Amino acid sequence: MDKNAGIIGTGKLGINILHHLKKNGIKISGIFNKDIFKSETTAKKAGVIFFKDKNILVHESDIIFITTPDDIIHKVANEIASNNNELGNKIFFHCSGSLPSTILENLEKKNALTASMHPLQSFAGLLEEKNPFKNIIMGIEGNKQAVETAEIISKKLGAIPYFLKTEGKILYHTAAVTASNYLVTLTEKALELLETAGIEKEKGLNIITPLMKGTIENIISKGTKKALTGPVSRGDYETVKSHMEQISKKAPEIRSFYKIMCEETIKLAESSGAINRSQSKKIIKALE
């Protein structure tokens, strides 16, 4: 690809995009960050130019990545649109998971092409040796020509392009948050229960890690319905009842959380045929 790329915003995602675009043969026109010192430091380390004015970066770039925090993407796009009369042939991407490409509509009005590219990955910092984009899903939606360019860039980064409907973008991100962030919350609740049982968190994590890994592997290989095990999937009313009794006595703050999770698990178990309606009703009664 003979187009160059500029990056506005050099946070955790921005620096990874910078590093791995460059590493995979895409010319970097430069970077911009509102923190000039940070921008200069990042540019020096990466061996690229830094701009003190984002509009100059836009002028010098064919492709512009806006990798700022979600809540200022719209503001950045509007500032660029208001300072440039014509943006024809320039392609703008933002990398938010929750925002659609339409957030860049004012750039479209100046004849730019826009799309969103969301790497389904968490970025804790710069990964130089290991490619954090390899074999992950890159959720893409937007203008047809911009999407075609996003597909090429995704493949160069080693990611798997996945084409989203613009109207489904927010629910796509909600699903990602549920699968990733709330898994952490679920783990924390399990550790809190172990603490209540007299097992410190560090040891507790060692105890449940093999169980969690096995469950994730089963979900991947068998799907959710066949991966489900445990008392609800067996219709074991007495065990669920004893759980609720102990939680109510010793960890009442977790009671509502456990109840909601159990209710959703009952629905899953019944839909998979593991238990019948009569068993479901009996377990639901144990949650009262």
CA distance 257 to 237: 18
Is residue 222 classed exposed, middle or buried when 0-12, 13-18 and 19+ CB atoms within 10 A define those classes?
Answer: exposed
- Helix ranges (H only) for 96-168 are 105-108, 144-157
CATH topology of domain 171-286: N-(1-d-carboxylethyl)-l-norvaline Dehydrogenase; domain 2 (1.10.1040)
Would you give the end-to-end CA distance of the chain in angstroms? 62
Pairing of strands 137-142, 113-119: antiparallel
Span(s) in the chain for CATH 1.10.1040: 171-286
CA distance 1 to 21: 11
Closest by CA position to 155, among listed 172, 170, 169, 135: 135
CA distance 269 to 49: 57
Q: Given this structure, which CATH class describes domain 5-164?
A: alpha beta
Q: How many CA atoms lie within 13 A of 2 on its CB side?
A: 0
Closest by CA position to 148, among listed 174, 113, 173, 182: 113
Rounded to the nearest 5 degrees, what angle is found at the Cα of 179, between the Cα atoms of 173 and 184? 120
Q: pLDDT digit string (tens) for 100-154?
A: 999 999 999 999 999 999 999 888 777 777 899 999 999 999 999 999 999 999 9
How much helix, strand and coil, in percent to the nearest 5, is found in the chain?
Answer: 60, 10, 30
Place of tokens 């309606």: 277
Pairing of strands 5-8, 160-163: unpaired
CA distance 95 to 136: 14
Q: What is the pLDDT of residue 124?
A: 76
> Are 47 and 75 within 8 A, CB to CB?
no
Rounded to the nearest 5 degrees, what angle is found at the Cα of 240, between the Cα atoms of 239 and 244? 115
Taking phi over 0 as left and psi of -120 to 50 as alpha, with beta for the rest, 123 belongs to beta
CA distance 198 to 114: 54
Written as six digits, the tokens of 171 are: 């629910």
Sign, Cα dihedral of 68, 70, 72, 76? positive
Span(s) in the chain for CATH 3.40.50.720: 5-164
Low-confidence stretches of the chain (pLDDT < 50) are none
Angle between helices 201-222 and 169-196 (to 10 degrees): 140
